[in-house]
Structure 1
Amino acid sequence: MLTALALNCTLNASPTGSSTQKLIDEVFAAFKEHDVVGETIRVVDHDVRPGVQPDMGAGDDWPELRRRILDADILLLASPTWVGHMSSVAQRVLERLDAEISETDDEGRPLMFGKVAVAAVVGNEDGAHKIAADLFQALNDTGFTVPAQGSVYWNGEAMSGTDYKDLDETPEPVAATTATLAANAAHLARLLNEHQYPA
């Protein structure tokens, strides 16, 4: 059984509704079809301190989030779109993950080698392609592997005010992309579990 961890980078603290969470839930439903189970962490509910070290000292909640990332086979990083960019919470996660470039296993590989990363982006404005590109570059730099078609997004009509969580049903293109993301991520994670990158 593979495991996935979703980091919901919404700006809204629990229990406020979240379009980002709705898309995460749909990805997890698709993961279930491929024997992938997991959990979601709403990052803004935790005190993730600014910095680029694995542990920024007393009160920093990142070490626990980091442990759960290390325990998972697949990381789903999910962000809303704000002024055409990922949320500040997602940017904070990438800054904290930057520390992983110099954290290695006993054979000298970065600790995130062998882990798969996928992305989900929602917003009622444009920007999803740029956000996915920025997320994937940073995640790949820190050692994650990105599967083919490893992102899913929904952009509402500009200035419409409609949120993803308010839709009556999932648009077919989003559902199809979500299914592909889940299948490819699970396939890649199994391959990497069986054949880790060389030291």
Structure 2
Amino acid sequence: MQITHLGHSAVLVEVADRRILFDPGNFSDRWHGVTDLDAIVVTHLHPDHIDPQHVGALLADNPDAAVWVEPGVLNAVDLGGRAQGIAADTSVELGGVRIDAVGGLHAVIHRDIPRIGNVGLVVTAAGEPTFFHPGDSLEAIPAGVDVVGIPMMGPWAAMKEHVDFLRALNAPHGFGIHDALLSERGWGLAFGRYNEMTPTTVQDLRASQPWTPAS
């Protein structure tokens, strides 16, 4: 498995000869122009996870890619009829790769803001580490996760909730995502706390260098 963080929540996972892009949102442009994708998968409809302005070009650049999105995205973003819904507690297959959707709801931002759908996505392939992209929720704790994309900061959670999430998940490896709202000092604070206070060794992949996690 090789992982490249392409800014905020956008993550390219290369596993079992498949290239899968998660959450190409509008808080980053490093995923623009990515080609040769086998799948594009989206956790929820917020534009920092799927960019309505530029996703059309991404689809055009990857005409053969499967597109799976949390069902609420289907009515919110024009995907040219390419996408299929992936609801919580369902799964899809891509060659030797399985993607399981877990959870179902976005974290509470405020009691006055209606909750939307959110699926965490668990990627497994024989002989490879298991990867988890939680989207914008810390509620689902799937078993057997080896590598987690860690939301470093969101307006829907406090640091204590992130620490408890990582302790419960008990994944040995992780890297920071959902970090576009953080200053350099804020990022460093979260990075240090999550490394010090949880069982997860957190990597800094902000330079978008490909990373191969230990098996």
Q: Which structure is richer in relative contact order (CA contacts within 8 A, separation 6 or more)?
A: 1
Q: Verify same fold: TM over 0.5.
A: no
Higher helix share: 1
TM-score (norm 2): 0.35
Superposition TM-score, scaled by structure 1 size: 0.37
